[in-house]
Structure 1
Amino acid sequence: MSEGATLLLEARGLEAGYGASQVLFGIDLDIRHGQVLTLLGRNGMGKSTTLKTLIGALALRRGSIRFGGELVHGRRPDAIARLGVAIVPEGRQCFPNLTVREHLVAFADQRNGLRDGWTLEKLYALFPRLAERADNLGHQLSGGEQQMLAIARALSTNPRLLILDEATEGLAPVIREEIWRCLRRLKEADQTTLVVDKYIERLLGLADRHVVLERGRVVWQGDSAALDADRGVWSRYLGV
């Protein structure tokens, strides 16, 4: 990512919650084109709630969200998705009665005729296991294969912003390595990405910047070198 890269997503003063409970207290978040940004923190600190506000699944109580310079808060999740935001949700959420190929074709976005976009063939090259299981239904896949499918399905939309929520959670080590390999390839391709994950050591070599949340507030942010050097942040806010 170049230093002069323009902002793709700009969130200011995000406040949100559930019923009478407020979870976010003035979150600011910037993501530049081609950047890999992580959202870190212990469980229950507001990471998933932040993601929900960004994709329109949870209404803001206060604040603003701009995507590509356009105000998007208050829009439906499908409208925000059509602007180029794709999420790989926690829990994968693959359709049990669709084949692997049907997952990847049904959600494909060919609007822009992207020469370098994610075609079915490129997705199979990224995850050869999916090519082998192309005719298998979602419920016939292992957890790791479902995770690969969830990532490939999101990429099939050729997103401007890819969001990954705990993409390596609960996976066998060999499958987890496959996911990290995929994320490195996406970084090399300048895919703008927002990652929530607990494997901080791996994120240091992947991400450009990190944002740490504590009780719904940003308590630290900086690049990988700064996070690596300040292990106090790890112990105070990340439980490491």
Structure 2
Amino acid sequence: MSLLEVSGLEACYGRSQVLFGLDLRVEQGQVVTLLGRNGMGKSSTLKCLTGWMAPSGGRVRFAGEDVTGWGADRIARLGLAIVPEGRQVFPNLSVREHLEAFAANRSGASDPWDVERVFALFPRLRERSSNMGNQLSGGEQQMLAIGRALVTNPRLMILDEATEGLAPLIREEIWRCLATLRAAGQTILVVDKYVKRLIRLADQHSILERGRVVWQGDSAALDADHGLWHRYLGV
């Protein structure tokens, strides 16, 4: 059974339908991407998966449970963590306080992520462990947002535009981190626009166009058809 299985997902804002029968599958240990231009339904999909938006149709199964319509807190406790667009760190909590406040072992990991392990992954956070969230650079906030998700020891980690607006060197550090997590077996769903990097990182890809999945395939197939990039991604 897949870790995440989405079938026939539909969603609406009022009378405006934004998702039309979306299917998505993420297997344990995979890195999967959700691609598409702005306004094509990626954010709405993530809201439905994480419990911030109730689907109007279809089913969402996660970790063996039908979580369709569950609230965000209940889904999170089952082992889903999101690194949200915009980072959303708390301005009045220090780096260490962020990590300690969210620490859990929701996947039952035998070697769980904790504060020290996150500091080893991101030494810059150790150096700024007493700094408040609003005293960090954008790149440091992104590292903290990833670390905050990791200390919950999620079954599935979702990253929503994790490299958006970052300086090139910081962006490379985030890609390095994701490669490390993949090698460690962390299951990840990524929304990002850097297709060349995602091809090297991910196993499977889904492209959305106006709330529908218009293409799914592996990295070799996506790399072989750059017409898809131009047609659906504007690359």
With normalisation by structure 2, the TM-score equals 0.98
| Structure-1 residue corresponding to 2:141 | 146
For structure 2, the 5+ residue unaligned runs are none
| Structure-2 residue corresponding to 1:171 | 166
Q: How far apart are residue 110 of structure 1 and its match?
A: 4.0
| Structure-1 residue corresponding to 2:130 | 135
| Structure-1 residue corresponding to 2:45 | 50
Q: How far apart are residue 68 of structure 1 and its match?
A: 1.5
Task: Classify 1:217/1:128 alpha carbon distance in 2 versus 1 (closer, same or farther; 3 Å).
Answer: same
Taking the aligned partners of 1:59 and 1:211, their CA distance within structure 2 comes to 22
Q: CA RMSD in A?
A: 1.0
Residue pairs, 1:207-226, within 5 angstroms: 207-226=202-221
Residue pairs, 1:23-62, within 5 angstroms: 23-62=18-57
Query: What code does the residue aligned with 2:169 have?
Result: V
Q: How far apart are residue 119 of structure 1 and its match?
A: 1.4
Secondary structure of the corresponding residue to residue 63 of structure 1? strand
Secondary structure of the corresponding residue to residue 220 of structure 2? helix
Residue pairs, 1:191-206, within 5 angstroms: 191-206=186-201
Task: Classify 1:112/1:151 alpha carbon distance in 2 versus 1 (closer, same or farther; 3 Å).
Answer: closer
Taking the aligned partners of 1:7 and 1:77, their CA distance within structure 2 comes to 20
Query: What code does the residue aligned with 1:83 have?
Result: L
Q: How far apart are residue 97 of structure 1 and its match?
A: 0.2
| Structure-2 residue corresponding to 1:69 | 64
| Structure-1 residue corresponding to 2:184 | 189
| Structure-2 residue corresponding to 1:21 | 16
Q: 2:157, 2:188 within 8 Å by CA — same for their partners in 1? A: yes
Q: How far apart are residue 141 of structure 1 and its match?
A: 0.4
Secondary structure of the corresponding residue to residue 8 of structure 2? strand
Taking the aligned partners of 2:108 and 2:223, their CA distance within structure 1 comes to 41
Secondary structure of the corresponding residue to residue 171 of structure 2? helix
| Structure-1 residue corresponding to 2:119 | 124
Taking the aligned partners of 1:114 and 1:212, their CA distance within structure 2 comes to 32
Taking the aligned partners of 2:169 and 2:179, their CA distance within structure 1 comes to 16
For structure 1, the 5+ residue unaligned runs are 1-5
Task: Classify 1:111/1:201 alpha carbon distance in 2 versus 1 (closer, same or farther; 3 Å).
Answer: closer
Task: Classify 1:221/1:177 alpha carbon distance in 2 versus 1 (closer, same or farther; 3 Å).
Answer: same
Query: What code does the residue aligned with 1:9 have?
Result: L
Structure 2 residue 93 is matched with structure 1 residue 93: no
| Structure-2 residue corresponding to 1:3 | none
Q: 2:107, 2:153 within 8 Å by CA — same for their partners in 1? A: no
After the TM superposition, which of the residue ranges 93-102 and 6-15 deviates more from structure 2?
A: 6-15
